[in-house]
Structure formats: C-alpha cells, structure tokens
C-alpha cells in the first residue's frame, strides 16, 4: 500500500471544504451584522415615530381650538366696542334699567373671556411695553419726545395667545421718540468743512 491509500478519505475533503466554510461563516457574519443594523434602525425609527405622534397629539389638544377661537375673538371685540360706546353714551344716566343692561353685557363679556381662558386662549394688552414684532402689529407711530422710541403707546386691539403661540397679534401705536443724534466717526473727514 502506498501513502495515498493509507490516508483517510475525509482529510482531502476537509481541506477543500475549509475555505468554503470560512466564506460561509464570513457571509453569515455580514448578514447578521446587516440584520442587526436594520433592527436597530427600525427600533430608532419606531421611537422617533412614537415621539412625533405624542407631540402631534399634544399639539392637536392644545391648538385644535384655534380656528374656533379666532371666530370667537371677533365677537369679543364687538362686545368690547359696544361696552365702550355704551359707557360713553350712558355714563350720566340714572335709569336703573340702563345700568342693569350695561352690567349684564359686562358680565357676559367677562364670562366669554373666562371661557376662552379656560380653553387656553389668553388675552394680552401690551400697553407701555417695548414693541415686539412677534407679538404686536404696529398700525402707526406717535411722535413723543418724552417716551423712548419703540414703546407701545396705545393698544388699538388687544392680542390673544393660545398656549405658547400667537393667535392674533395686538394692534398697537408705537412711540417715535426723540430725534437721535447723528454720530460722526473721527477717522472720516468732515464733508461740511
């Protein structure tokens, strides 16, 4: 017998199959890593979706009434105008019926504002505050040397917020203030001289 016949037949097969097994193991390891990556990405996407959905539901609860609230603001404004006009016209009246009517309208206005506030809609009156274009809409300027420029001098129509968002900006008149002195830089020549 020769050496070739003395060797067991499985040794040749094992040597030939070893590179194949390593290739299969490497492919399985790559596939496992890819699947693990896909699972982790899917879990992250699901967590992001859950957070986004929670945020959207919270926003819908807080701001879902915004359209209705805007419609009601017109009613509140008209009620305020009616009260202001009635107070001016009837300020000297001694008729108890007129006074009772005025008190009833005032009570109705207070209840309307309470109902809005109960639903997250808050009125704000920026009289005397610094003008903020995010909260106020300037209608005109009022020249006044005694007031710094950019201050709210008059509130034409109050503003409303719902939660942290502006539902309607306040319509205001802004102070123009005194004239600002012109500063001349010292390194530039004076053109008047």
Instruction: Give the pLDDT confidence of 60-85 residue by residue, as tens digits.
Output: 877 788 888 888 998 999 888 888 88
The reply to whether 154 and 126 lie within a common domain is: yes
* Structural domain count of the chain: 3
Q: Which residue range(s) make up the domain with 40?
A: 11-63
Residue 182: band (very low, low, confident or very high) from pLDDT cuts 50, 70, 90: very low
Q: Is residue 186 one of the residues assigned to a domain?
A: no
The reply to whether 41 and 75 lie within a common domain is: no
Q: Is residue 104 one of the residues assigned to a domain?
A: yes
Q: Is residue 40 one of the residues assigned to a domain?
A: yes
Residue 58: band (very low, low, confident or very high) from pLDDT cuts 50, 70, 90: confident
Residue ending a domain, choose from 94, 119, 144: 119
Q: What is the C-alpha separation between 154 and 92, in angstroms, rounded?
A: 26
- The 3-state DSSP class for residue 133 equals coil
Give the pTM: 0.61
Length of the chain, please?
193
Residue 168: band (very low, low, confident or very high) from pLDDT cuts 50, 70, 90: very high
The reply to whether 74 and 27 lie within a common domain is: no
The reply to whether 126 and 175 lie within a common domain is: yes
- The mean per-residue pLDDT over the stretch 101-113 comes to 90
CATH number at residue 159: 2.30.22.10
Contacts 24+ apart (CB under 8 A), 101-106: 105/79
The reply to whether 168 and 140 lie within a common domain is: yes
The reply to whether 135 and 169 lie within a common domain is: yes
pLDDT tens, position by position, 83-99: 888 888 877 777 888 88
Residue 51: band (very low, low, confident or very high) from pLDDT cuts 50, 70, 90: very high
Q: Is residue 193 one of the residues assigned to a domain?
A: no
Q: Is residue 3 one of the residues assigned to a domain?
A: no
Hey, which residues does 166 pair with through a beta bridge?
Answer: 161
Q: Is residue 191 one of the residues assigned to a domain?
A: no
The reply to whether 55 and 74 lie within a common domain is: no
Spell out the residues 6+ positions from residue 175 whose beta carbon is closer than 8 angstroms to its own.
141, 142, 143, 144, 147, 148, 149, 150, 151, 152, 153
Q: Is residue 105 one of the residues assigned to a domain?
A: yes
Q: Is residue 163 one of the residues assigned to a domain?
A: yes
Q: What pLDDT does residue 64 have?
A: 81
């Amino acid at each position: 017998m020769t050496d070739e016949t003395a060797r067991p037949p499985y040794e040749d097969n094992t040597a030939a199959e070893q590179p194949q097994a390593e290739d299969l193991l490497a492919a399985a390891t790559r596939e496992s890593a890819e699947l693990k990556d896909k699972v982790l990405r899917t879990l992250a996407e699901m967590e992001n979706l859950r957070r986004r959905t929670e945020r959207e539901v919270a926003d819908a609860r807080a701001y879902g009434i915004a359209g209705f609230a805007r419609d009601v603001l017109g009613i509140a404004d008209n009620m305020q105008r009616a009260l202001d006009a009635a107070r001016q016209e009837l300020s000297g009246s001694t008729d108890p019926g007129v006074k009772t009517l005025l008190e009833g309208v005032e009570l109705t206005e207070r209840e309307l504002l309470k109902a809005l506030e109960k639903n997250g809609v808050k009125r704000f009156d920026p009289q005397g505050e610094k003008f903020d274009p995010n909260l106020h809409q300037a209608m005109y300027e009022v020249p006044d040397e005694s007031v710094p420029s950019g201050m709210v001098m008059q509130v034409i129509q109050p503003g409303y917020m719902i939660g942290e968002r502006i539902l309607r900006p306040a319509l205001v008149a802004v102070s123009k203030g005194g004239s600002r002195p012109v500063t001349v830089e010292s390194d530039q020549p004076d053109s008047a001289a």
